[in-house]
Amino acid sequence: ACRPTLGGVYRCYNSDNPSDCLSDGAECAFSEECCCGLCAIEEATGTLKCCPGGIPCVPTGGQCTTDLDCCYGPCIDGICTEQELPCVPAGGHCTSDEDCCEPLKCNPSTQTCYYVFV
């Protein structure tokens, strides 16, 4: 089954039920298939895992595959940097709607920016 990601790209899931998600530590291919919302490189093994080490985002200096992986700055050349973005993209960490790029909103329970579909 295929469905759109937060970024609007359609992804196909291995499960017949795309609402099923992978638990922390499971091998993954992209963030949207993880329950925690992050598929990142586990330093010890070099493989992609859901929330490696139990963290919901990659700290500055860690390996990343996309800006959405990083806790604070963008993913540049595979590394999360401290470079400030003018606003937080979809899936990024936020504390209020003002943190998020327009027209995104901040989900108070997950503290991530998301698209509001009306």
pLDDT surpassing 70 at residue 113: yes
**Is the residue at 22 inside a domain?**
no
Can you give the pTM of this predicted structure? 0.51
By DSSP bridging, strand 75-76 and strand 48-50 are: unpaired
**Is the residue at 99 inside a domain?**
yes
State the pLDDT at residue 66.
80
Kindly state the percentage of the chain with pLDDT values over 90: 16
Structural domain span for residue 110:
87-118
Provide the H-helix boundaries in 1-118: none
**Is the residue at 103 inside a domain?**
yes
Confidence of residue 112 (pLDDT cuts 50, 70, 90): very high
pLDDT surpassing 60 at residue 36: yes
**Is the residue at 68 inside a domain?**
no
DSSP-derived letter for residue 52 is G
Tens digit of each residue's pLDDT (9 = 90 or more) over 14-31: 655 556 788 889 998 887
State the pLDDT at residue 57.
82
State the average pLDDT for the chain: 81
Confidence of residue 88 (pLDDT cuts 50, 70, 90): confident
Number of domains composing the chain:
1
CA distance 58 to 48: 12
Confidence of residue 107 (pLDDT cuts 50, 70, 90): very high
Structure tokens at 85: 């973005």
**Is the residue at 116 inside a domain?**
yes
**Is the residue at 24 inside a domain?**
no
